[in-house]
Amino acid sequence: MLHEIAPHQYHLEYSTRQPGKGDILLICRKGTVLCRAGQEEIEYPTADQIKVTGGQYLFSIDDQAFFLPRGLEEPIPEGWKLRSIQTFRTANPKHLAYAGWLGSRLAQFYAEHRYCGRCGAAAVPSTTERAVVCPSCKAVYYPQISPSVIVALVDGDRILLTKYQASHSTYRNYALIAGYNETGETLEETVRREVAEEVGLQVEKITYYKSQPWPLSGALLAGFFCRLKGSDSITLETQELSEARWVSREELEPRPDSPSLTGEMIEQFRLGLDPLSQS
Ligand SMILES: [Zn+2]
């Protein structure tokens, strides 16, 4: 999956250090990040290659630090270009692709919290944690992380695959039922509600599989396998989905090394390695 960058290691401890020689600058503009132009492999500029007056420390991978720069001179220097983070899903090296996703999300957080939502004063980055604070009313704002579920609904040798309406998502391949957790709901209740809402089915044996951070949307995905309970007759919710159908194990295409939890869960089912097949 995309966030699995071993043998590289993340360090998310907060720091107020400033960018120096060799540190990477993630220059993020509306879903794009500045990369070396004319090059398939991702390469970001460092603080010795592009002049900035300071920056916000983000995280490190191994001993390489990443910053959001401040005081960047326009226009963008020659030899570099803004690249869409949508292309990072399958880009290499993988750990730099994931760093770009994370940086882009954090850049959005800082951009959207320049003012206090409570009193309207200018807000500033915290000196002690990943947060923005209001010097006037002392309100504290953290990056928003939205819990959501991915549901592999299984009936014997079949799994339920869905497709999104073009108006709802840019993702065109088959997917699994998914949805955001609502206030006051457990994740298991989200699983039951989303399945009932999207395809009109009942479930049992809800079994947790794995989680995946998904910085593109700020979601924290929790993957669950569950079994069909009762009727298999689908009532499609057509606002969100264009299709839902039962697919047998034999019909599934192999999906090795999937960047997404959805892809890995479908592959685990295909191989008979999912927690319900194993139990
Ligand atoms: Zn305030």
Tokens of 94: 């993988």
**Does residue 81 sit in helix, strand or coil?**
strand
Q: Is there a single domain that holds both residue 175 and residue 76?
A: no
Residue of 10, 18, 22 whose CA lies nearest to 47? 22
- Do 17 and 96 fall within a single domain? yes
Give the pTM.
0.89
Tell me whether residue 3 is in a domain.
Answer: no
Task: Say whether both 272 and 225 belong to one domain.
Answer: yes
For ligand 1, the distance from its centroid to the CA atom of residue 111, given in whole angstroms, is 16
| CA 238 vs CA 192, 200, 276: distances in Å | 18, 12, 29
How far is ligand 1, taken at its centre, from the CA of residue 110, in Å?
Answer: 15
**Is 107 in the same domain as 27?**
yes
Q: How far is the CA of 55 from the centre of ligand 1 (A)?
A: 23
- pLDDT in the model for residue 112: 94
Same domain, 16 and 66: yes
> How many whole angstroms separate alpha carbon 182 and alpha carbon 190?
7
Residue 170 included in any domain: yes
Same domain, 197 and 160: yes
pLDDT < 50: residue spans in the chain: none
CA atoms within 13 Å, Cβ hemisphere of 139: 14
For residue 179, being part of any structural domain is answered with yes
Q: Where are the beta strands (DSSP E) in 91-157?
A: 124-125, 132-133, 140-141, 146-155
Q: Are residues 155 and 267 in the same domain?
A: yes
Q: Do 131 and 19 belong together in one domain?
A: no
Domain of 57 in residue numbering reads as: 10-111
Count of domains in the chain?
Answer: 3
What is the reported pLDDT for 90?
83
Q: From CA 109, how far away is CA 131, in angstroms rounded?
A: 9
The answer to the question of residue 78 being in a domain is: yes
In this prediction, what percent of the chain has a pLDDT beyond 70? 99
Q: Report the separation in Å between the CA atom of 122 and the middle of ligand 1, taken as the mean of its atom positions.
A: 8
pLDDT at 267: 96
- Both 93 and 154 in a single domain? no
CA of 141 to the centre of ligand 1 (A): 10
| Cβ count near 7 (within 10 Å) | 6
Asked if 179 and 252 sit in the same domain, the reply is yes
Q: Is residue 95 domain-shared with residue 117, that is, in the same domain?
A: no
